């Protein structure tokens, strides 16, 4: 709500907590935002008496519009950015991010007002979309956690690897994951990989560390194979064009 207040054009009436009656929450407003945890959205929506002129939207990335079925105007708006607290969250919501939207057109209007990009995500695609979002945020942070633990065994701080991580992520976004991938799995340095595995196997919590490492090596190998196939197909297409010419 603070972000909408900041961009202007909206007059927010504040939040209703768990201890407040919700039946009349949709009266006298153009928009009602349900910012409850995923498992509570349907219950909260059902407690609000429908008002045909009021749009009711939720902020969940994993839920479709069915949880708002009692309301005529319904939609969803999910920001693709971490929101750790109100101050940081308000700033990030206005930083030109992507919003996944569905349903009532007011969701696109809100994304535009915040200076963001609206992408339509249908109900049938919500689970895959949210899985991708969770991997992009939660799994990435968990992977950084492993970097921190393994680096600590060599007496190194996490920030020593910050430049490497930022550059790798920037390359993956700018060039695409296939072109950005580097390291032993791409080069076929399997002796190096086995030395890594042996080192991880001797660490505390080795089963978790080794399982995570093996999983990521598998994904890196898959990516490198996909890249090689893509290069072969591209070369064949160029050769074919030369023969025709």
199 vs 160: CA distance, rounded Å: 20
What are the tens digits of pLDDT across the range 90-106? 999 999 999 999 999 99
Of the candidates 67, 101, 121, which is a domain's last residue?
121
Q: Quick one: pLDDT at residue 233?
A: 57
β-strand pairing of 73-79 with 98-103: antiparallel
Confidence of residue 234 (pLDDT cuts 50, 70, 90): low
What does the pLDDT look like over 50-79, one tens digit per residue?
Answer: 999 999 999 999 999 999 999 999 999 999
Query: How confident is the prediction for the chain on average, in pLDDT?
Result: 90
pLDDT of 68: 97
| Same domain flag for 9 and 112 | yes
- 3-class secondary-structure state, position 15: coil
Of 90, 121, 152, the last residue of a domain is: 121
Last residue of a domain, one of 121, 148, 163: 121
Residues 82 and 104 in one domain: yes
List the one residue out of 31, 25, 88, 37 whose CA is nearest residue 61. Answer: 37
Q: Are residues 115 and 34 in the same domain?
A: yes
Q: Record the pTM.
A: 0.82
Q: Say how many C-beta atoms besides its own lie within 10 A of residue 79's C-beta.
A: 20
Beta carbons of 198 and 213 less than 8 angstroms apart: no
Spatial CB neighbours of 210, under 8 Å, sequence gap ≥ 6 = 197, 200, 201
For 166-210, the pLDDT digits (tens) are 999 999 999 999 999 999 988 889 999 999 999 999 988 889 999
Q: Using CA atoms, how far apart are residues 46 and 76, in angstroms rounded to an integer?
A: 16
The reply to whether 92 and 140 lie within a common domain is no
Q: Domain range spanning residue 36?
A: 2-121
Determine, yes or no, domain membership for 209: yes
Same structural domain, 135 and 115? no
| Tokens standing for residue 50 | 């429908």
Q: What's the total number of domains in the chain?
A: 2
How would residue 238 be classed by pLDDT, with cut points 50, 70 and 90? very low
């Amino acid at each position: 709500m603070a972000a909408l207040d900041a961009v202007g054009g909206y007059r927010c009436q504040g939040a209703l907590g768990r201890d407040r009656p919700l039946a009349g929450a949709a009266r006298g407003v153009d928009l009602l935002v349900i910012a409850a945890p995923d498992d509570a959205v349907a219950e909260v929506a059902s407690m609000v008496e429908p008002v045909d002129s009021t749009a009711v939207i939720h902020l969940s990335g994993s839920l479709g519009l069915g949880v708002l079925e009692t309301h005529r105007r319904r939609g969803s708006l999910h920001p693709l950015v971490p929101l750790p607290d109100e101050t940081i969250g308000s700033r990030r919501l206005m930083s030109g991010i992507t919003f996944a939207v569905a349903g009532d057109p007011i969701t696109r209007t809100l994304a535009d007002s915040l200076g963001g990009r609206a992408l339509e995500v249908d109900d049938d695609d919500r689970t895959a979309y949210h899985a991708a979002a969770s991997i992009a945020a939660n799994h990435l942070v968990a992977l950084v956690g492993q970097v921190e633990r393994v680096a600590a065994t060599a007496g190194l701080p996490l920030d020593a690897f910050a430049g490497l991580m930022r550059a790798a992520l920037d390359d993956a976004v700018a060039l695409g994951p296939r072109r950005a991938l580097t390291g032993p799995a791409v080069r076929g340095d399997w002796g190096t990989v086995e030395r890594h595995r042996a080192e991880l196997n001797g660490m505390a919590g080795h089963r978790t560390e080794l399982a995570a490492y093996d999983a990521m090596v598998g994904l890196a190998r898959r990516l490198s194979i996909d890249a090689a196939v893509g290069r072969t197909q591209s070369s064949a297409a160029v050769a074919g064009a030369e023969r025709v010419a």
